[in-house]
Amino acid sequence: MCRVIAVSNQKGGVGKTVSCVNLGIGLAQEGKKVLLIDADPQGSLTISMGYEEPDEMEYSLATLMMNIVNDEKLNIEKTILHHKEGVDLIPANIELSAIEVSLVNAMSRELILRSMVDRLREFYDYIIIDCMPSLGMMTINALACADSVLIPVQAAYLPVKGLQQLIKTIGRVKKQLNPKLKIEGILLTMVDNRTNYARDISLMVYDTYSASIKVFGTEIPMSVRASEVSVEGGSIYSYDPKGKAAFAYMALTKEVLKEAE
């Protein structure tokens, strides 16, 4: 039974892509078959996986979505990339920006991505979608096809305040497009436990949301190594396996797996 998890926050710089990479590869290390989908025109996930020039790729998520819009054969085999750490990737590039414009006039425009993802479910245990940092049409598409949403939030006041808007959007998508959608959990990232400020923010998130939304027990610590890893084109497990960020992401992986039991 495949689970589709959208990793979403309309605020950038909260550790969204890093969390996608390390959760996905963490699940693969636990023996799961994992597909990562880059749904951001900036191609951050694609670049983080070691593909440095996504704009030069002939096939990407944009290609597949245009195939669906134009009712053409899907070039899925040509689009999926196989990463050395055991996960598959559907890359993204700047062409995805044009897709958002094209979708305005498309039939069932919020469900284009779902029609593709539903065809891929039988081949994977987990499909993880890295959403763009906005609540535009691509993000709505991701939420419309996901089983759950994982929300990374930087342990700082403004990112936490921005959560309310995202939670409202998730509620609207659940009501109008995807009744099974739930929130996988809120993941606190870039936590500097040496400061009272970070501890206060953590408490604020727990107090505000934990009654109605799962807040992961795992917090991702502030780590220079974790921010460096995207240059290496792989996971924190291969770059800094004994570091605190690697242990944190493995703990997160275990929490996500437990949720599926």
pTM: 0.94
The residue length of the chain stands at 261
Sheet holding 182-189, edge to edge: 81-82, 88-90, 34-39, 126-131, 3-7, 148-154, 182-189
Q: For the chain, which domains are there? A: 3-260 (3.40.50.300)
Element at 34 (helix H, strand E):
strand 34-39
Q: What is the pLDDT of residue 204?
A: 87
Is residue 160 over pLDDT 80? no
Higher pLDDT residue, 159 or 169? 169
Q: pLDDT (tens digit, 9 = 90+) per residue, 34-90?
A: 999 999 999 999 999 999 899 999 999 999 999 998 899 998 999 999 999 999 999
Residue 233 — left, alpha, or beta (φ > 0 → left; ψ -120 to 50 → alpha)? left
User: pLDDT-derived band of residue 20, with 50, 70 and 90 as boundaries?
Assistant: very high
Q: Given 3-state DSSP classes, what are the helix, strand and coil percentages for the chain, each rounded to the nearest 5?
A: 50, 15, 35
